[in-house]
């Protein structure tokens, strides 16, 4: 048959009756003009997996901006922390002139400047983009943009609470290039966070002893100050939509979204080479109890002899102490922190044992803090001890210790004997850090200006804290079906409205969703359309259109009637400017079991069929070599049309599951006034094999 005859037969058969019985049918199909046959399901490995990024509004980051050093008052383009989060031609700059505010750190090679902000809510932090100064991009010895960075996050119970130094968790470190363009920090695993901070360890013009520094300048021209502009922060969420395609006689169902996987709060060691924390018991108030013991704690062997270290923990005192309740103890008792009792006074005790077997102890009274959460910091300088609770010491601090200021060498610990907490303890633990590499520090040093900065710069050997997951999406979702023209054309329209501090952007728009094609089988397909409005609200649309024009028979077997090939024809249009990519078909022997997928490498098509217009395309699927035993059996199929527009992939789907039998098509040809004599003879030959 020539092409025109094939087209006409398709039109002739549009009136053929649909037969809805379900019977067996051979799994053989090909696209019209395609030389290959594909009967089994195939899927693309390039489709998105239902993840989406949501941006924290720059206005929120500006309003919540924090830093440990800022140029205030501003000097030219060098200015405040909030300047890091707008798009103006200026930037946050650490202080390089003027009188330092009391809240600022004194910047040095070890106390480094950082910039950060709060999100106004909990998010799943996934990405931060950083941009350095643009005015000196071509002057390496004058460009003090960040080179080596440390990225921290904090997850506060109250999203507006200010993190202290023990709340920050290092999540990633690395090096930026000297590019003047925005650069990304992408986390391998998103983390629940309320705040972030970005530390500039060194700069493009000041390597600060970094052996991995690769700046193009001398590396010694800078003064340690740094800057940042146009920082953006992105949260990750799942937007994994499933649309159930229309089926004749069934009610349209709401679009479904993948629920947030509920995760139980757990205790984790977020430092390198984490210890096993599975024995910890979570409490309803976000603390943990029980006892962590008999785990591999060999990384703590770094703390020996005169090695300085700090232990910091947040502890809730549930009731008055009745004995010494261990908070942390290292085997062989080289060091221990306990919640204990002296006479009637409850105290936090920092106890250490020297190589001669002598105990050294310092204590802070906490009788007035029962029922509260307290912040404990214990310091071993290498020869003496210090202890603070909430940054203070009680009035009788000096009279409750046994020579804590006497020089001594710490007793060696015993491996695999770490004990954290006790099952019957009157105190529960919220977090705990053990920090080394704190430099030279006195046990009488000022807590806020010396001790805490030293803690912040130390390397964390142990970092225990309660880790929780998100309990809900960071947006609300609504969906509706639109049938504007009253035909068998339907659009599933989904609206995602981000919560509070967040907004969707053009980069957020998902490229794929899932479609349940038959009530059972789900396929990943490109969306029909997605857009974001000026308020950051995302709209996703998927279209189902009437495309099926009918079934026809191909006379591939001449005068042999015990085999034939049946064709399904489809007409469709594309948006202006779109490029047709191809069709895909889902087919099977039952309406609710389209278990086979045909994805031809190239889909043949024509335009302007039957003078319907230049914007109308026609493509066909052919079920080949159908034996006469199956002439009364239905075959079911649904078509997917794929195209590109402005460099992005889109698709739409047929609004019905299309079905015909060879018998029904042959009867339609036999009874048609438009069919040729040759066609009628062929149709009667097919029908004759059925009656035998």
**Three-state SS at 447:** helix
Examine the pLDDT at 7 and tell me if it is beyond 50.
Answer: no
Mean per-residue pLDDT, 3-18: 28
Tokens of 26: 């051979």
Domain map of the chain by residue range? Answer: 3-42+545-691, 53-237, 238-262+472-544, 266-467
Mean per-residue pLDDT, 442-463: 90
Q: What is the pLDDT of residue 290?
A: 81
Q: How far is CA 431 from the centre of its chain?
A: 25
Place of tokens 């800022």: 70
Mean per-residue pLDDT, 658-664: 96
Do the first three CATH levels of 53-237 and 266-467 match, i.e. the same topology? yes
Q: What is the pLDDT of residues 200-216, one digit of tens each?
A: 999 999 999 999 998 88
pLDDT over 90 for what percent of the chain? 65
- Contact indicator for 144, 133 with CB cutoff of 8 Å: yes
Mean per-residue pLDDT, 625-654: 95
Q: Which residue has the higher pLDDT, 423 or 522?
A: 522
> What distance in Å separates the CA atoms of residue 4 and residue 10, rounded to the nearest whole number?
10
pLDDT band, very low/low/confident/very high, at 34 (cuts 50, 70, 90): low
Examine the pLDDT at 254 and tell me if it is beyond 80.
Answer: yes
Q: What is the pLDDT of residues 410-451, one digit of tens each?
A: 888 776 788 899 888 899 998 999 999 999 999 999 998 899
Q: What is the pLDDT of residue 39?
A: 34
pLDDT over 70 for what percent of the chain? 91
Q: What is the pLDDT of residue 409?
A: 87
For the chain, the distance separating the N- and C-terminal CA atoms, rounded to the nearest angstrom, is 27
Q: What is the pLDDT of residues 35-72, one digit of tens each?
A: 433 333 333 333 347 789 999 999 999 999 999 999 99
Q: What is the pLDDT of residue 54?
A: 97
Q: Which CATH class is domain 266-467?
A: mainly beta
Homologous superfamily of 53-237 in CATH?
Galactose-binding domain-like (2.60.120.260)
pLDDT band, very low/low/confident/very high, at 649 (cuts 50, 70, 90): very high
Q: What is the pLDDT of residue 402?
A: 65
Q: Are strands 502-503 and 51-56 parallel, antiparallel or unpaired?
A: antiparallel
DSSP annotation of 392: B
Tell me the whole-structure pTM to 2 decimals: 0.78
Q: What is the pLDDT of residue 400?
A: 64
Examine the pLDDT at 23 and tell me if it is beyond 90.
Answer: no
pLDDT band, very low/low/confident/very high, at 32 (cuts 50, 70, 90): low
Q: What is the pLDDT of residue 411?
A: 86
Helix/strand/coil (H/E/C) assignment for every residue in 605-668: CEECHHHCCCCEEEEEEEEEEEEHHHCCCCEEEEEEEEEEECCEEEEEEECCCEEECHHHHHHH
Q: What is the pLDDT of residues 97-142, one digit of tens each?
A: 999 998 899 999 988 999 999 999 999 999 999 999 989 888 888 8
Mean per-residue pLDDT, 521-533: 96
């Amino acid at each position: 048959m020539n092409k025109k005859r094939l087209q006409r037969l398709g039109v002739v058969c549009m009136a053929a009756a649909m037969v809805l019985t379900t019977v067996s049918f051979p799994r053989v199909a090909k696209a019209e003009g395609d030389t290959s046959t594909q009967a089994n399901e195939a899927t693309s490995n390039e489709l998105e997996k239902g993840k989406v990024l949501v941006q924290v509004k720059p206005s929120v980051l500006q309003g919540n901006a924090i830093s440990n050093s800022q140029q205030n008052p501003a000097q030219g383009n060098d200015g405040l922390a909030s300047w890091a989060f707008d798009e103006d031609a200026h930037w946050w700059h650490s202080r390089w002139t003027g009188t330092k505010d009391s809240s600022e750190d004194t910047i040095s090679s070890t106390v480094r400047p950082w910039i950060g902000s709060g999100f106004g809510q909990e998010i799943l932090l996934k990405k931060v983009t950083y941009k350095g100064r643009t005015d000196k991009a071509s002057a390496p010895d004058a460009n003090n943009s960040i080179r080596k960075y440390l990225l921290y996050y904090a997850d506060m119970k109250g999203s507006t609470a200010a993190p202290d130094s023990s709340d920050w968790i290092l999540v990633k470190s690395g090096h930026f290039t000297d590019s003047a363009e925005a650069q990304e920090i992408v986390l391998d695993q998103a983390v629940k966070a309320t705040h972030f901070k970005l530390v500039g360890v060194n700069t493009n013009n000041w390597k600060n002893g970094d052996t991995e520094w690769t700046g193009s300048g001398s590396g010694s021209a800078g003064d340690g100050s740094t800057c940042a502009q146009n920082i953006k922060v992105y949260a990750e969420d799942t937007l994994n939509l499933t649309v159930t395609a229309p089926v004749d006689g069934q009610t349209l169902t709401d679009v479904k979204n993948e629920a947030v996987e509920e995760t139980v709060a757990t205790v984790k060691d977020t430092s390198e080479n984490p210890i096993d924390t599975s024995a910890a018991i979570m409490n309803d108030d976000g603390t943990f109890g029980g006892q962590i013991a008999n785990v591999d704690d060999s990384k703590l062997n770094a703390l020996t002899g005169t090695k300085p270290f700090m232990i910091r923990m947040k502890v809730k005192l549930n009731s008055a102490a009745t004995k010494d309740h261990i908070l942390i103890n290292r085997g062989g008792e080289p060091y221990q922190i306990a919640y204990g009792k002296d006479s009637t006074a409850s105290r936090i005790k920092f106890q250490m044992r020297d190589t001669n077997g002598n105990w050294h102890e310092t204590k802070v009274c906490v009788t007035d803090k029962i029922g509260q959460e307290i912040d404990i910091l214990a310091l071993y300088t290498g020869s003496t001890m210090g202890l603070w609770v909430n940054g203070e010491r009680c009035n009788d601090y000096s009279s409750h210790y046994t020579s804590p200021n006497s020089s001594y060498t710490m007793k060696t610990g015993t491996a695999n004997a770490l004990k954290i907490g006790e099952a019957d303890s009157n105190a529960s633990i919220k977090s705990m850090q053990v920090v080394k590499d704190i430099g030279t520090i006195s046990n009488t040093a000022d807590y806020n200006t010396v001790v805490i900065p030293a803690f912040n710069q130390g390397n964390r050997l142990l970092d225990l804290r309660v880790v929780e997951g998100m309990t809900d999406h960071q947006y609300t979702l609504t969906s509706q079906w639109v049938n504007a023209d009253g035909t068998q054309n339907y659009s599933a329209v989904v609206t995602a409205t981000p919560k509070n501090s967040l907004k969707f952007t053009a980069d957020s728009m998902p490229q794929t969703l899932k479609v349940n094609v038959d009530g059972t089988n789900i396929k990943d397909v490109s969306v029909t359309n997605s857009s974001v409005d000026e308020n950051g609200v995302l709209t996703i649309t998927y279209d189902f259109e009437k495309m099926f024009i009918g079934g026809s028979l191909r006379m591939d077997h001449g005068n042999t009637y015990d085999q034939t090939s049946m064709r399904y024809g489809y007409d469709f249009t594309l948006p202006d400017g779109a490029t047709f990519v191809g069709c895909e078909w889902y087919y099977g022997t039952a309406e609710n079991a389209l278990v086979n997928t045909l994805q031809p490498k190239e889909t043949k098509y024509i335009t302007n069929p039957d003078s319907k217009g230049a914007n109308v395309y026609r493509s066909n699927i052919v079920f080949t070599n159908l034996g006469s035993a199956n002439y009364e059996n239905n075959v079911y199929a649904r078509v997917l049309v794929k195209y590109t527009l402005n460099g992005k992939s889109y698709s739409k789907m047929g609004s019905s599951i299309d079905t015909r039998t060879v018998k029904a098509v042959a009867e339609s040809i036999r009874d048609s006034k438009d069919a040729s004599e040759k066609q009628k003879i062929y149709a009667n030959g097919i029908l004759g094999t059925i009656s035998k």
